[in-house]
Amino acid sequence: MHETMRRLKARFTPSFIVIVLALTAPTVTHASGPAVLSGMCEVAATPVAFGMYDPLRHKEAATVGMLRYRCSGTHKRLTIGLTTGESGSFRMRRMGRGSKAIVYNLYLDAAGTQVWGDGTGGSQAYIVNSPADGNEVSIPVYGRLFGDQNASAGNYQDNVSVVVSY
């Protein structure tokens, strides 16, 4: 099976008080061969905004953003994965500001038990078999900034790609 990959660059643009994951300009991986009968899929995203983070409260900051997809034609399988970002690990993603960092992660579930990744390193990708033709589907992206971090005020960033295969 021949596969061409395109990636959606996601930019985490937090400021210490406002932390936002912006997923824009979606890009899709298109597989030809037995995985695709005919058609295409489009993906769009809204930001994940963590809001205010106060290291003195010792609490996590949780939020949710959305990825949306719509497939037309007939597909056997759709997979949406997220990369590790600059940290290189799914265990704890890190947003950096110079030599400083703040730890967060992205999840498929609100409980934070299924780290959203590419299916490696203990992570899971979002997978749907036979996506419905023409229906827009929204998928929540659950974000969690961990508590008790000694982080100073400023803008923290990470680069995460969304990889869509169909």
Contacts of 117 (CB under 8 A, 6+ apart): 81, 82, 83, 84, 90, 123, 124, 125
Q: What pLDDT, on a 0 to 100 scale, did the predictor assign at position 120? A: 94
CATH code for position 64: 2.60.40.1090
* d(C-alpha 9, C-alpha 100), whole Å: 22
Q: Binning pLDDT at 50, 70 and 90, where does residue 102 land?
A: confident
Q: Which helix (H) or strand (E) holds 67?
A: strand 61-75
Q: What pLDDT, on a 0 to 100 scale, did the predictor assign at position 38? A: 58
Domain residues for 79?
A: 3-165
* d(C-alpha 166, C-alpha 27), whole Å: 12
Sign of CA dihedral 109, 115, 100, 85: negative
pLDDT tens profile 106-158: 999 999 999 999 999 999 999 999 888 888 999 999 999 888 888 777 777 77
pLDDT tens profile 38-47: 578 888 877 7
* d(C-alpha 141, C-alpha 21), whole Å: 10
pLDDT tens profile 103-119: 999 999 999 999 999 99
pLDDT tens profile 61-76: 888 888 888 888 877 8
Beta carbons within 10 angstroms of residue 127's beta carbon? 12
The count of structural domains within the chain is: 1
For the whole model, what pTM was predicted? 0.78
Q: What pLDDT, on a 0 to 100 scale, did the predictor assign at position 30? A: 45
Instruction: Residue 2: name the closest of 33, 41, 29 by CA.
Output: 33
